[in-house]
Amino acid sequence: MTTTVTGVTVYTGGGWLPDRDVLIEDGLVTAIAPAGTAGAGGVDGRGGYLIPGFVNTHTHLQQSLQRGIAEGTPLLEWLLAVGAEAVAITPERAYTATVAAALEALRSGTTTLMEHMWPHPSAEVHDAVVRGLRDTGIRAVLGRGIADRADASRRWGFEPRLMQPLDDVLAHTEQLLKDTEGSVIQVGLAVPNPRSVTPEGMGAIGEFARERGLPVSIHLLETPTDDLMCREHAGLGAVDYLDAHGFLWDRVLAVHCVALDESGRRTLAERGVAVSYNPVSNMRLGSGVAAVPDLLDAGVAVGLGVDGAASNDTQDMLESLRAGAYVQRAVRGRADLLGFADMLDIASGGANSALGLPARSGGVTVGDVADLTLLRFERDFATLPVRDPGASILTTGSSRIVDTVLVGGEVVVRDGRSTRVDEAELVRELVALG
């Protein structure tokens, strides 16, 4: 596949270059050249601004059918309500939820997402999720849910009705690896939290993932509950419990880390563990604010996450980009924290190493995958006039300004709408589920 984005202002090397042609071959950016180099054709980028696509490091796609569930309730109570919905999911609903959430993500400039599936015994549900991802064209890391300690209360374990023997889960993961080979979908493992895995389970999961180079996503210290329960049952805090059983390495993505202390930050940094920062979800559920500046200072890689629509309500990465900067400034009383350049690096590549994705910083780069987002401020008068494109994206950007999205050089969103999905039909299906 060969295409171009012509006459665009591109963010590259940490700055904006106007009037450029971006050349794409075989899914990679091959050149950023003066306008007119590429000739006619391709995507007309005149008047637009090109940035790397966002990497949403944490979501639960099926929750796009659970918006507003258990609103205003504490985390454990909320988890029970969401778990009941997960038990009842069907392949048909899983497919619709996946398409809706993935398309919403694409329309906010997200080109890659890390799907953290909850454990589920149905292969058909997983097949429906894979089909939905393929149909939208988004790049994804599909985290197959896994746990081996059952507890209906969700305090020291996971929902028993969604559990399977570890050997069955790992065999199914092998099948998913075969089913997605050669596609833009990678496979990993997704652990609900430290409380849901036994030491023996950690050993089996870690060995399987390491042998195959798979990423492992795990919710960690979203609230102090992980620490309290691990200390009560295992005599160690959550980070030490995982570390004592060899479950922290450089392909682990720790999600949330709101209640992570200085010692925990040091341990994650030493083990090469990355963190997924989910500011809107953490505010919505009253969990608190992850100490992102401290994580970065400690040498921990940090990526941006949206979380599922049951706790964030949307899949809008531009909303999380802004909230992620603003809440850090508010709690620290500083306006000079996490500007556009910092937040774009976090949102487009901060945790890529843990997910097995190419490293990315400083914007669009020659040699990088052509996962790109073309923004047009004139699509929303609330972003005008533009004094500084980066400042405008951070402070006023919304999904309304997303014009074109490319994944591996393929245009999957044009003029703010999917090129692959019948959006009118999707709306009818979603309305019927209300």
Domain boundaries along the sequence of the chain: 2-52+362-418, 54-355
Instruction: Say if residues 97 and 62 touch (Cβ distance below 8 Å).
Output: yes
Q: Which residues of 278-311 are buried (b: 16+ CB within 10 A; e: fewer)?
A: bbbbbebbebbbbbbbebbebebbbbbbbbbbbb
Indicate the pTM of the whole model. Answer: 0.96
- The stretches of 219-288 forming alpha helices (DSSP H) are 225-234, 238-244, 262-271, 279-284
The C-alpha atoms of residue 75 and residue 30 are separated, in whole angstroms, by 46
**pLDDT reported for residue 1:** 66
The C-alpha atoms of residue 98 and residue 63 are separated, in whole angstroms, by 9
Sign of CA dihedral 326, 305, 288, 263: negative
CATH, range 54-355:
3.20.20.140
CA-nearest of 70, 77, 87 to 154 is 77
Angle (CA) 374-378-381 rounded to 5° is 130
Digit-by-digit pLDDT tens for the chain (434 residues) are: 679 999 999 999 999 999 999 999 999 999 999 999 987 789 999 999 999 999 999 999 999 999 888 888 988 888 889 888 888 899 999 999 999 999 999 999 999 999 999 999 999 999 999 999 999 999 999 999 999 999 999 899 999 999 999 999 999 999 999 999 999 999 999 999 999 999 999 999 999 999 999 999 999 999 999 999 999 999 999 999 999 999 999 999 999 999 999 999 999 999 999 999 999 999 999 999 999 999 999 999 999 999 999 898 899 999 999 999 999 999 999 999 999 999 999 999 999 999 999 989 999 999 999 999 999 999 999 999 999 999 999 999 999 999 999 999 999 999 999 999 999 999 999 999 97
The C-alpha atoms of residue 179 and residue 287 are separated, in whole angstroms, by 37
Topology at the third CATH level for domain 2-52+362-418: Urease, subunit C; domain 1 (2.30.40)
**pLDDT reported for residue 85:** 87
Rounded to 10 deg, the angle between the 340-349 and 389-396 helix axes is 70
**pLDDT reported for residue 124:** 98
**pLDDT reported for residue 40:** 77
